[in-house]
Structure 1
Amino acid sequence: MEYTLNELKEYMETNNYEEENIVNGLQGIDNSIFKSERSKTISFDKIVPKGKMIAVRKHTRYIHYPAHNHDYVEICYILSGSSHQIIEQTEVTLSTGDILFMGPGSTHEILASAKNDILLNFIIHKKFFSYILEFIDDETSLSDFLVDVIFKPSSSKALIFKTQNKKEIEELLQKIIGELRHKSKLTESRIKFQLGLLIIELIQQKPRIIEKETYEQGLLIKVIHNIEKDLKRANLNEISEKLNVKNYNLSKMIKKESGKTFNELVRDIRLEKFCELIKIQNISINELAIEVGFSNTSDFYKKFKAKYGVSPREYRNIK
């Protein structure tokens, strides 16, 4: 017997044993699911019965889950309500119909959810995706994610798909959740099959991608902050000394990560600051150009026109 997603939502709104204990102050986070006492990694072997490749659990509500990761792939489906999470230091609000793929090694923190926030977690062993990948030829965000999952020790990437009102996907999820409600000897086999179809349906969708910030990306952000602090005197030698990075290495990294030389990066930041201030400050164009770091105003006019296609005066008058 099949159920609509609304019927399944009503069924799952009922508190389970763990949630009742949390509400009554009798229980906190179950630390037995982690690899060790001090580990922040949830272990597949501790939450999935031996010999199984997939488990599906309703996310436990009413409690805050601190930052953690997994040694498996987690697919989280928002059946109803929302979920506020911090994924790789990026704040995210997932809404009804969203599907989140978390690679093994990707870190997230989950804020406490309310009664109508129903999340389903699909806990899947990495080996499962080797079979799925055989049916996928196209290079997409999801296929790249699966390749990382299969061939790399860990993957800090997360994908978010918007699937609300997409009939084919909703029907597959409906069948999967229906299997959970009425289990039989064939339940796991059916869920594997339906999950494979779901992934194939999602392959052509364009997800939001969240990745862990690399050392180089973090360093570029620090460079930009240092430039913004002293636009007039921004100097590569001083910044490289402050960041304890060799001048040549920092220059090379800036070019690789931004596609610009240090001087080009400084120029563009100065131009962006000028555009921000010219709309709100009652000041002459030349004075403001000098204030943001352009000592040669003639050169400033040329660079501004080349980048924006209009003169500074015309830009100021654009509503």
Structure 2
Amino acid sequence: MNQELIQSLSVITEEEQKILGGSSDIDRTLYMDRGDMVIDSDKLLEAGQLITIRPHTRFVHFPEHTHNYVEVIYMCRGETTHVVDGRELKLKEGELLFLNQHAVQEIQPAGLEDIAVNFIILPEFFDTAFRMMGEEENLLRDFIVGCLCDDTRYGRYLHFQIADVLPVQNLVENLVWSLMHEREGMQAMNQTTMGLLLRHLMHYTGRIRVNRDSEQSFEQQLTLQVLRYIDEHYREGSLTELAALMGYDVYWLSRAINRLLGRNYKELLQIKRLNQAAFLLHNTRMPVADVSFAVGYDNTSYFYRIFRTYYGMSPREYRKTG
């Protein structure tokens, strides 16, 4: 990795200074509100953010915890020891560790020269990347699908031993650089970079250590069908039409979607439409009213309202960030 990035990530943080000063535990208020050891994305992401990064905190033991987001850890230098779902693994320089929302993780103290970066990612960030991955079935694609499912039966982590794969290293470094420099309007580019990264990783599934057999189940097939339909028919699609196409009772399908993906059909459709609207605002000169219509909203006032709720700013303000 570029030495300038390494130096920036190596700086002793305020949290680490307290640990070196004698604090023997992590500051839980930085990570969680409750006592159930679930690290909360709201503590780490700003309103409207889908992804961010932070250096891994060194010198301290992280007790068992889970996340309510997807975490990807990249080892920039040195190594760290993790216990994931009861299995110990060493993450070495240049390797990647993907954890879904159900993985139970414990981390042993890292030393001064053990530099890792944590990607904090909401599942909807993978929207563009998922499309770029195509239809080929493999462990990585199934894992991404599993990240969208509220089901503990899916494989919960992937450990990529790809330190010698230069394109992967370059793409990770590009993503780290982009997120560290916090340039506005970079979401679409970051999503595309993530898509390219996953496309490359798909060719190295033989380098994966995984916690369990991730053979596709009925639930995964159902999830894929639902996500594919929303991706292709977000403008005019309906739950009733989807149920008819799949041959299921609409009420049964509605409950299944909520159970498997943790959101109802309307919420999934809205996320897809708003992500597409954000893409059009940054990449075209279409008037906001036309963007609203293009993604399936005939009522521009309603579009403005839900866009502001989701992104924390109006469509016009969002366009200026690009």
TM-score band, normalised by shorter chain: 0.5 to 0.7
Deviation readout 1:279-309 (Å, 9 max, x if unpaired):
xxxxxxxxxxxxxxxxxxxxxxxxxxxxxxx
Q: Which of 36-45 and 187-196 deviates more?
A: 187-196
The answer (yes or no) to whether the contact 1:68–1:109 under 8 Å persists in 2 is yes
Task: Name the structure 2 match of 1:85.
Answer: 82
Picking from 44, 61, 64, the partner of 1:64 is 61
Task: Name the structure 1 match of 2:137.
Answer: 139
Report the CA distance between 1:49 and its aligned residue: 0.8
Picking from 67, 71, 91, the partner of 1:74 is 71
Which structure has the larger Rg? 1
Q: Percent identity?
A: 27
| Distance verdict in 2 for CA 1:174–1:26, change over 3 Å | same
Deviation readout 1:41-70 (Å, 9 max, x if unpaired):
111122211111111111111110001011
Task: Name the structure 1 match of 2:301.
Answer: none
The answer (yes or no) to whether the contact 1:88–1:211 under 8 Å persists in 2 is no
Name the aligned partner's letter for residue 139 of structure 1. E
Task: Name the structure 1 match of 2:209.
Answer: 208
Name the aligned partner's letter for residue 192 of structure 2. F
Report the CA distance between 1:28 and its aligned residue: 3.6
Task: Name the structure 1 match of 2:116.
Answer: 119
Structure 1, gaps ≥5 residues long: 213-319
Report the CA distance between 1:88 and its aligned residue: 0.6
Does residue 161 in structure 1 map to residue 148 in structure 2? no
Deviation readout 1:87-141 (Å, 9 max, x if unpaired):
1100111110110000111101000000111111111111222332222211111
- Two-structure CA RMSD over aligned residues (Å): 2.1
Structure 2, gaps ≥5 residues long: 214-322
Task: Name the structure 1 match of 2:198.
Answer: 199
Aligned residues: 209
Runs of at least 4 residues off by over 6 Å: none
Name the aligned partner's letter for residue 93 of structure 2. T
Task: Name the structure 1 match of 2:14.
Answer: 17
Task: Name the structure 1 match of 2:100.
Answer: 103
Name the aligned partner's letter for residue 210 of structure 1. N
| Distance verdict in 2 for CA 1:157–1:8, change over 3 Å | same
- What TM-score do the two structures reach when normalised by structure 1? 0.61
The answer (yes or no) to whether the contact 1:75–1:99 under 8 Å persists in 2 is yes
| Distance verdict in 2 for CA 1:133–1:184, change over 3 Å | closer
5 Å-filtered alignment, 1:1-319, equals 4-25=1-22, 28-136=25-133, 137-154=135-152, 155=154, 157-206=156-205, 207-211=208-212
1:156, 1:189 → 2: CA distance?
28
Q: Which of 33-42 and 74-83 deviates more?
A: 33-42
More contact order relative to length (CA 8 Å, sep ≥ 6): 2
